[in-house]
Structure 1
């Protein structure tokens, strides 16, 4: 039995999704007692009465099935029966846990073989003993007798039902002719699965007030293949026994071993899906301290719907999807995603929304301090009747003292379990208070620091990956680094191959003018050593001669300057492009503010992004702006696409996130040039580029790929989201009035196709081919009246030369 239920209260009603004991039989057992935090005394009584009546009925049916099978089915061979019972009982502990409640056991193989070889009586007794053994041999707390009996007797009912169907379908126990009797074998396996799963689902539905069919479909239907595999092996074992005797039992063990571990791997993958799923809302949005953009708000608001899609594939013994979908609905109907109002919102979602709000307000955030419980409660009360159900808010207000005491009791229990040894502390120091407060402060600070670091690194990556102006990029990066690592002066040194020195290219902070033309010979001092050895390094540097170059100060010749002499604490990281050294990023601070090992990790990550910005800027400068930028639209061109796409693929692989591209072609754009002239066409292309960029995020890239073709790279976005983005771009372009000479408006139409990594391909050529083919399918559907079906050249690979 579970722990006795406590009276209903706000927290437990909103938290019925606690951990559920793993059940041991093939599909699962049942949860006899109503879980903690019931839904009201009368309802709980009715549920318990109905569940008890159902369980007693199943137990009676199980006893009747066992008795009838022996009365009408005869007595099986005792030796073979004992072998079957022993095999099923010994294999019953080998269970594969299901995602929510229960397990699948390979003992079904021996039960099914007993049915085919020995008949209904042997199958019924084998199943009952296996179910009882699985309950008794489980680890942890032993279960009460009524639960053990239900496990055993419902399996006897399932086995008897399967045996009756096997006989009615023409099967003959002990003389299996698979060529003639395979329909009977399949039918009996299916009946066993349906009977076993439905009996268990019925108990759970009565206990937890879950619709039966929804419960069975979500929690049990997916286990059908396991029964099919068990029936297949049971049939193979039967044929082996008929031909080779009990020796076949030993030969079947390798197959059962493979089945067990295959099913376990399958279950672990399902469990992994349950634990992780997909992160619908990126962490940088969750941690963003300022207002969200329109695109970020849209992404935030779709997470309930996506969450429901994930949860529908997972077996929960309660209607969790309704709670997840509706927990952002508001009492006055202004919430999302369905704009439900009042009683239309499920009660569990109404409770969770209040709990979620109160918890968020009293929790620390990177961008604000936590509110006191009194302030949070006052805010929740102010939203009564607009955001929250008045009855739920009233329940929270009435139970605040009791809930606060309960929370303190839980915290105290946790603290006591981790109390340190008092003997090591000075007198008068309370170890519990001191260490618990230190632990809480440490954990809170660590989480906040990680969130700030993640957000700052995201913004750095977003800016540098697309930056072609080094000064602009470094100005932004320097500000973000200040949130991650302390410094008084930041210097970006670039490697001058001709002079073999590191020359200061960008300086930020104090002493900027003094260090603006500073150089360091390659291989000398801390930065020179870091560049040669391609390793980050930090420490308190020395100006006097030392044996190790890495311990010498970069600023040793400037130490006579009183404004620089205190900068003895340094941390540097090389900027690498493959094996080539681009330069060094160096931070300097006072001697009493040393850098730590963890700062090396951060600056190493930042250095990779700075290296990207440096490489892009150098390539841009080398071509005087024509290397990577289309002069007409000021968008990156095809050459930039080829350079950057491999980086995007590598990032997607490293971070395990999707990557999508969109190919866009302007329909009949040649007619615009023919009728209105090329200057008008150029103005339209510039305006079109502006429209497309307005629909994109900062980390997305729009490239002018050919004359009237554009390619959009969308990192971190899969098929569904990229389809929505396509529609937004298409609506923005086709609703816009482009102005030509004389003030005349012109409207354009576009055809688009998309592809996603890794589903549609793992290389640039593969993805662009798929997107191109889909784009031409759209174009063809728009031009069905043309003789050739499209009015354009058919897709035969790369159609046009990229614009460089």
Structure 2
């Protein structure tokens, strides 16, 4: 039986390996050419060509076996060793060399190896056979071919020694090639010595037995050779089937192992939306660094590959808001994040890995100077795989976008690693990064090509399009679910920071569009005084027309939703667009949900779509969830606006108060300074108001102030601002008006107040007068206090002048019925 150990070489051969292969190939060609000349010149017949045909046939039916389930080394078992040694005994070493070369070529072609490997294996076998064959005849003390009457014991001893020499030469040449070409071990063949050497020895011994039988008696030979051959053939067939079954089982186990690792990696990648594809890029970097370190231990390499994919599995126990937080983490949040290596290792510890996955995962955040976590290991006490993983993890994190920063340039990332050399990271590994930056960047780009696709940017499946769920779809759903949670968290966090209604509604529509999608969106708020829904905010197609919408509660789609506190999904939006034909043709379906808090409807969010297919169920479910958070946010904003309005409003008159006046004047004077226009300030004080309070009480006095406030408001433009200043004093701000132009307004005010009559009792009424002073920006002053002082002085002068003209009996007069 022929045993050939498969050479484990990488396609990217080292220069020394190339030269070695050329040397062996040249030696093999010389040996084969020499032996071919010798064989053809030999007086023996060419019956040995039948053995060559048998060897070619045997090469087509190999048994490939593996020493260990996790070993890359395979060996191939055929019956060809028996034929090679039989040719050696029956003919000569020259013919045996030709047979060995044919075996190498046929075996390599049968498994479709690269040409350089086929030629190398043929040259290796030919060279080994040439040496072993000539040593056999030296030990046997005979010239080829072997004499029929040679001593049987000597034959078997010589064949046994030659077979072991043949095996040793093959193993040495193959191991040297692996070492020079790809950094493998020269003596890796020791792992398979018994499995490979024993079949070779058995094949050679069987060939000797057949030769002895043939040389002693034809009948005896046939009697012994045929059963021996049939037995060998039967054993071969049985072993071939058994190894085929074993190999298939090993392949299934490997497939299951890799699928499990891949599934876990995809689950990790699906959760962390900020680092999609991170684990695959880290694996590519880690394996590249291991190659630069000449890490040859296959067990370590397999552990590193699996650990790179699983190093963040502990983040399954870290809340999403921590992983995706754009601001610095608190101390408590940092402690939670730092626990992920230990948590991940504990999860993986339940799996009986045959390689060191768990320690690599547990210690990949240790630091070279001992200041890492979780165990505070230092220097070489950190497992090598964990040190490689730490550098690969850090480099990819620096070169990727994260919630708290944009990705760094290659130069900045390299500078960071250089600055942490000997602190956070193994100096030797950092040096390898610095020496191989471009190849490492290329490995990242290659990894991106083979990274499984992550979450869909939007939900694309509709209820009518449900298909059997693949593994990839499941992970997309996981990623999308985490994404939903993250956006809802962002909505809750952001609206909690804003009490401005406009900002709140704008943010809500932005997040809804990001998560659900729409062609247009309107947020309507209930106006109980008008019994209508009024547009608070609109965005998207025809947002300007939606801004004008005013829908009666109970009418249209949005009005029905507000009246019944129930959502409507995938219905025609036409009833919302009475009088707007552009909107009726632009949108085909809508999704409307109430903004409800404690069964009190604050408003409605309506999404409009130009597509007739409508919104999928997933989006409808999401809108129900979003609406709950949105209702609380809108309620807070409305309450804040009401509180703010109360703070700026005089409760008695309903006019703005002094606090509002100060804010308004600061803004108005700033605007006037920028665009150079006048502003006139009026100071007004009621005349004889004290007599009203004294004679009729403060209740009548308050009513008088409220009525006078309305009288004053009617005498002014929409752009003018009327303020209750204090007591019975009022202020008016007239933008774009000079002091002279303001005289007309003053006359209207005094005429209207003088004509004012408020009935209080039967046949009695109250009337008052009003004194008015004016000061103008910029002619009279630049500051609010300066203008107030001047207007107050002007009002005092007007009060004296009007008092001189007033009849003292006209303050409170009897009301005469008309």
TM-score interval (norm. to shorter) = 0.3 to 0.5
Question: Which is greater in Rg?
Answer: 2
Q: TM-score by structure 1 length?
A: 0.35
